[in-house]
Amino acid sequence: MLLVIIGILLFELIIFIHEFGHFMTAKKCGVKVNEFALGMGPKLLKFQKGETLYSLRAFPIGGFCAMEGEDAESDDKRAFGNQAVWKRMIIVVAGAVMNILLGFVLMMITLIPSRAFASNRIAVFADVSTSSQQLQVGDAIESINGYGIHTSMDLNFALATAKNNDMTFRVKRGGETLTFDHVKLPTTKNEDGKEIVHLDFKVQAIENNFGTLLQQTFLQTVSTVRMVWASLIGLLTGQFGFNEVAGPIGMTSAITQAAASGLQSSFWDGLSNLIFIMMVITVNLGVVNLLPLPALDGGRLIFLIVEAIRRKPVKPEHEGWVHAIGLALLLLLMVVISINDIIRLFH
């Protein structure tokens, strides 16, 4: 039960960081903020400070930063809609940027204890190796099946999404770029009968120092963003099934499972697992919110770009209808995903 509560609190921290990005930039740009809320539904706690109402709501599935004139016309000079378009763009993207920055910080925290980092350069092959028929020690792997490899996270994602062990490797060898088709790697089957591809070689280590820590933090955060985009594209193209999508319930379950798994070995392993899952979720939230879809920050940004190009805003009621329809569809999707999460919890 304690782990469930921790999972919910960590998820809400991610939501708070996102909404605080909107709140902070709105205040800095002189926009009036009517309410800053954590959670959705009925108010549990509330207090007024200055012009802003701060509230904690019953359902820990989101939050919001309600700005004056955000979805309707307002005569207030400090209304969101009455600000310069560049200010509104900054406010709109600030939430997603804060999520990705949080991901950067969390990634660094998970990497600090590492003795070394994995590179993309082959160090040694296993005693029995099929890939060594084409690959060589010292090869720097540039891509697998077209997916760019820069970090160990890229390497793991490429293997996890491989359909079979018939792979295409592009490597850098002695200053020359070479492509090898039909590279064979060993496989095993998991409990669901899915074939899992494994490496039959080890990669060279990168010493952990201040410079490489910053470099790996940046590269692996970028790898996480790429992984999210690749997953979204895979979902749209049918590469991944709908059952592989998780909502708040599924994410909370993943957080608590990661904590429980880590706590079996030590408290610090459990904490490290939690931080890593948080990093993935906060980057997910940042990337998804920038998608050009109604009701998301990316959708609002599209309207602002259109306004900047035509030098005339779209009528608030028209934009409001688009976002209202988008929000309704988004909430419906969240309900379906949450039901799917609950079903998976009992299977």
Q: Is residue 133 part of a domain?
A: yes
In a domain, 242, yes or no: no
Contact call for residues 89 and 302 (beta carbons, < 8 A): no
Same domain, 8 and 103: yes
Q: Do 50 and 87 reside in the same domain of the chain?
A: yes
Whole domain around residue 76: which residue ranges? 2-110+282-345
Are 105 and 124 in a shared domain?
Answer: no
HEC string of the chain equals CHHHHHHHHHHHHHHHHHHHHHHHHHHHCCCCEEEEEEEEEEEEEEEEECCEEEEEEEEEEEEEEEECCCCCCCCCCCCHHHCCHHHHHHHHHHHHHHHHHHHHHHHHHHHCCCCEEEEEEEEEECCCCCHHHCCCCCCEEEEECCEECCCHHHHHHHHHCCCCCEEEEEEEECCEEEEEEEEECCEEECCCCCEEECCCEEEEEEECCHHHHHHHHHHHHHHHHHHHHHHHHHHHHCCCCHHHCCCHHHHHHHHHHHHHHHHCCCHHHHHHHHHHHHHHHHHHHHHHHCCCCCCCHHHHHHHHHHHHHHCCCCCHHHHHHHHHHHHHHHHHHHHHHHHHHHHHHCC
Active-site residue flag, 19: yes
* Residue 79 and residue 174 in one domain: no
Task: State whether 59 and 103 are in the same domain.
Answer: yes
Q: Is residue 311 one of the residues assigned to a domain?
A: yes
Same domain, 6 and 105: yes
124 phi and psi angles, rounded to 5 deg: -160, 145
Among 186, 207, 228, which residue terminates a domain?
207
Residue 172 structure tokens: 């850098």
Domain assignment of residue 233, yes or no: no
pTM higher than the cut 0.85:
no
Domain boundary among 183, 207, 231: 207
The domain boundary, picked from 171, 188, 207, lies at 207
pLDDT of the residue at 277: 79
Q: Measure the CA–CA gap between 296 and 305, rounded to whole angstroms.
A: 15
pLDDT of residue 166: 80
Number of domains observed in the structure of the chain: 2
Residues 104 and 16 both lie in one domain: yes
pLDDT at 312: 84
Residues 100 and 120 in one domain: no
Interacting residues of 96 by C-beta distance below 8 A, sequence separation 6+: 18, 21, 285, 286, 287, 289, 290, 297, 298
Q: Which residues of 209-235 are buried (b: 16+ CB within 10 A; e: fewer)?
A: eeebbeebbebbbbbbbbbbebbbeee
Specify whether 65 is located in the same domain as 15: yes
Looking at the structure, tell me whether residues 96 and 151 fall in a common domain.
no
Task: State whether 103 and 48 are in the same domain.
Answer: yes
> Is there a domain that residue 176 lies in?
yes
Which listed residue (12, 19, 68, 319) is catalytic? 19
Q: 81 in a domain, yes or no? A: yes
Task: Spell out the per-residue pLDDT of the chain, length 347, in tens.
Answer: 565 666 677 778 888 999 999 999 999 999 999 999 998 889 999 999 999 999 999 887 788 999 998 877 788 899 998 899 999 999 999 999 999 999 999 999 989 988 899 999 999 999 888 899 999 999 999 999 999 999 988 988 888 888 777 889 999 998 899 999 988 888 887 776 677 888 889 999 999 999 999 999 999 999 888 887 787 777 677 666 555 555 444 444 554 555 555 455 666 666 777 788 788 888 888 888 888 887 788 888 998 998 899 888 777 666 776 767 766 766 666 566 556 555 555 55
Q: What sign has the CA pseudo-torsion 253, 258, 264, 269?
A: negative
